[in-house]
């Protein structure tokens, strides 16, 4: 019976297959109905209707065959069938092997707390520039944070555009917000002495080492004894403790060998005298093990020390700014300082610490 209907064939006792050409490719789709005379006529009429839609340019494969495995690949406009939340989740999975744990953690936070609740229920083709910008304007967070939150959205929309799932990428017309560079607020020598006077043991050694090396807090807490030479007075910076995990520097310049300032070397020697079984130079005085992250260090060491010393609060990162400003005030070479701090060139030194550079 099926032979008299072109493009219609019987496939077993519970299936009828229809065949048609779409975008230059032969397509076959099965209808889960028994091959009775009535159903064969229905299949033929269905095929004729599909051919008519293809000719008019109105055929949408996923709508016609939503359960077909090949439907999405052959769709005329897939973006209208893919939810933003699904595209984001697929993108996050692909990030696992391409980015560091801390970066993926930040992306998950941006998607879970901001992007998916606001745009997850949209399909890719429903997103538009005006609505995204209105949402951005209503956010009460820093410009830097907003720019970081937009990264996953930029990535998935760019991918959708290049895969021809959408005709236009609304994110291409949304620029990053201008981020104001915060002026360094270094500590004075008197403030450093006041802070150190409130500390003792490992905590004091860590803060003194931080002030006189300019290391990032993550680098300070991730420093191992095997990378420190007390005889040479040097340290190799090759790891950092970020969100409780050890991480290598993002750039080649981040991995560096530094010569320790006399005050830093003194702190390292003092720490060596009270070292625990930990492989890390600066350990948690309470557990005698590596610090879990920079957060307990900040809460249990940094904040109480500044409060006890009656010193205006600044973040731990200002130890880095303090070292840089002190070295430049002593006329140390900016190029040397750039290498010491892990910059690829001295441009950042000039831009951030220009007022401490002696031009004479």
Q: pLDDT tens digits, residue range 110-142? A: 999 999 999 998 888 888 898 999 999 999 988
CB 357 within 8 A of CB 351: no
Domains 2-76 and 81-173 equal at CATH topology level: no
Any idea which architecture 2-76 has in CATH? 2-Layer Sandwich (3.30)
CA distance 319 to 328: 14
Tokens of 53: 């839609």
For residue 352, give the nearest of 155, 327, 222, 330 by alpha carbon: 327
Over the stretch 219-277, which tens digit does the pLDDT of each residue have? 999 999 999 999 999 999 999 888 888 888 777 778 999 999 999 999 999 999 998 88
Confidence of residue 360 (pLDDT cuts 50, 70, 90): very low
On whether the 189-356 domain is CATH 3.40.50.11820, my answer is: no
The CATH classification number of 81-173 equals: 1.10.150.130
Cα 135-141-147 angle, rounded to 5 deg: 70
- Closest Cα to residue 285, out of 304, 263, 266? 304
- CA 136/CA 118 separation, integer angstroms: 11
Contact assessment for residue 18 and residue 8, using Cβ atoms and an 8 Å cutoff:
yes
Every domain of the chain and the residues it spans: 2-76, 81-173, 189-356
Query: What is the longest distance spanned by two Cα atoms in the chain?
Result: 99
In this structure, is the dihedral angle defined by the CA atoms of residues 266, 260, 182 and 248, taken in order, positive or negative? negative
In the chain, what percentage of residues exceed pLDDT 70? 93
Closest CA to 239 of 226, 229, 319: 226
Where are the strands (E) in 227-308, listed by range?
228-229, 234-237, 240-242, 245-247, 256-259
H/E stretch holding 98 reads: none
């Amino acid at each position: 019976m099926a032979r008299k209907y072109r493009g219609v064939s019987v496939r077993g006792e519970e299936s009828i297959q229809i065949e048609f050409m779409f975008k230059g490719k032969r397509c076959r789709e099965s209808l889960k109905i028994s091959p009775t005379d009535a159903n064969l006529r229905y299949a033929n009429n269905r095929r004729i209707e599909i051919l008519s839609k293809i000719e008019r340019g109105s055929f949408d494969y996923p709508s016609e065959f939503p359960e077909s495995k090949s439907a999405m690949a052959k769709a005329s406009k897939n973006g209208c069938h893919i939810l933003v939340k699904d595209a984001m989740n697929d993108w996050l999975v692909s990030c696992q092997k391409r980015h560091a744990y801390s970066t993926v953690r930040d992306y998950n936070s941006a998607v879970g707390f901001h992007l998916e609740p606001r745009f997850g229920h949209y399909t890719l083709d429903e997103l538009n520039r005006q609505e995204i910008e209105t949402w951005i304007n209503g956010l009460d967070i820093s410009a830097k944070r907003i720019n970081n939150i937009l990264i996953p959205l930029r990535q998935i929309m760019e991918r959708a555009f290049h895969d021809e799932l959408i005709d236009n990428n609304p994110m291409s017309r949304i620029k990053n917000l201008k981020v104001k560079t915060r002026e360094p607020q270094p500590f004075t020598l008197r403030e450093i002495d006041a802070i150190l006077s409130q500390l003792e043991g490992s905590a004091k050694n860590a803060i003194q080492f931080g002030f006189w090396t300019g290391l990032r807090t993550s680098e300070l807490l991730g420093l191992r004894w095997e990378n420190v030479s007390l005889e040479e007075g040097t340290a190799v910076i090759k790891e950092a403790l970020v969100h409780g995990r050890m991480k290598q520097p993002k750039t080649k310049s981040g991995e560096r060998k530094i010569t320790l300032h006399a005050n830093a070397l003194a702190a390292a020697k003092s720490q060596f005298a009270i070292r625990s079984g930990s492989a890390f130079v600066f350990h948690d005085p309470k557990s005698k093990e590596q610090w879990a992250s920079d957060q307990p260090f900040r809460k249990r060491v940094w904040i109480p020390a500044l409060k006890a010393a009656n010193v205006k609060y600044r973040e731990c990162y200002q130890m880095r700014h303090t070292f840089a400003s002190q070295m430049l005030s002593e006329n140390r070479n900016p190029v040397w300082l750039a290498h010491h701090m892990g910059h690829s060139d001295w441009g950042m030194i000039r831009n951030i610490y220009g007022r401490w550079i002696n031009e004479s």
